[in-house]
Amino acid sequence: MKVLTIMGTAHKGNTRAVVDLFLKEFEGEKNEFDEIILPNDFQNFCHGCANCILKGEDKCPHYNDVSKIVTKIEKADLIIMASPVFVGSCTSGLKALLDHLAYMWLVHRPKESMFNKVGLIITSAGGSGVKQTVKLLKTNLFYWGVPTVYNYGVTTMKMGGNYCDYKNKDKIKNQVSKQAKKVKKALSKRKVGFKTKFFFKLFGMTQKNGWNKVDVEYWKEKGWLDGKKPY
């Protein structure tokens, strides 16, 4: 099994520490691990040209960099998306990457491989913002087509530290262990739920008379407008 971690920051603080706790839960099982560290591995902001949606993802001015990351995402079985809370949301580095992947949403041109993955969102905050950040990242994974997404967010009330310094560190470890077990179970029995199927069908209906030719042709080539499904 391949595990890909997309880290919204290179800073080794609370979020990094919690991510490492989760990764330890998957060690010793012949799993393969890979990471994308932002902004180190991707430093481009979206220009808003909409070329990826209207003309094709290869027309994005940052296509070469984006395509390398998409390849890693497609190969992964488990996608861990992690970010500390910055001003009530995810980091700018992670948001910049997500902006470049709008074309992969269900309403446009989702990747078939996404429907066979499990997602895990990890975030931490010194104060508020955990729920908002989880919601943003969960929305992106869902609209990529990832049918099962778990999340773990912790409010530490301490900035720039490490969860290991806290009195409740054992509680965090236990919570991580329990959530990791749920993720493992989902990976062993991957299935697409009603919500994903519903939105796929809904967007398929809109594609039959779609306004965007690139999207329509994509759905036709996949056979999705003729009843074929990616799951």
Residue 166 has pLDDT above 70, yes or no: no
| 119: CATH | 3.40.50.360
Sheet holding 78-84, edge to edge: 32-37, 2-7, 78-84, 118-125, 148-155
Placement of tokens 């997500």 in the chain: 98
Give me the domain span that covers residue 91: 2-192
3-state secondary structure of 132: helix
CA pair distance 161, 56, nearest whole angstrom: 43
The pLDDT tens digits for 62-92 are 999 999 999 999 999 999 999 999 999 999 9
Residue 197 lies in a domain: no
Mean pLDDT of the chain: 94
Confidence band of 127 (pLDDT split at 50, 70, 90): confident
**pTM score, whole prediction:** 0.94
Residue 215 lies in a domain: no
CA pair distance 97, 136, nearest whole angstrom: 13
Residue 161 has pLDDT above 70, yes or no: no
Residue 198 lies in a domain: no
- With a CB cutoff of 8 Å and minimum separation 6, the contacts of 165 are 158
Residue 202 lies in a domain: no
Residue 224 lies in a domain: no
Residue 159 has pLDDT above 60, yes or no: no
Residue 90 lies in a domain: yes
Residue 48 lies in a domain: yes
Q: Does residue 39 have a cis peptide bond before it, meaning omega lies within 30 degrees of 0?
A: yes
Residue 141 lies in a domain: yes
CA pair distance 106, 68, nearest whole angstrom: 21
How far is the CA of 202 from the CAs of 23, 26, 148, 198, 209, in angstroms?
Answer: 36, 36, 19, 6, 12
Task: Estimate to the nearest angstrom the gap between the alpha carbon of 186 and the chain centroid.
Answer: 16
pLDDT of residue 97: 98
Confidence band of 162 (pLDDT split at 50, 70, 90): low
Domain count, the chain: 1
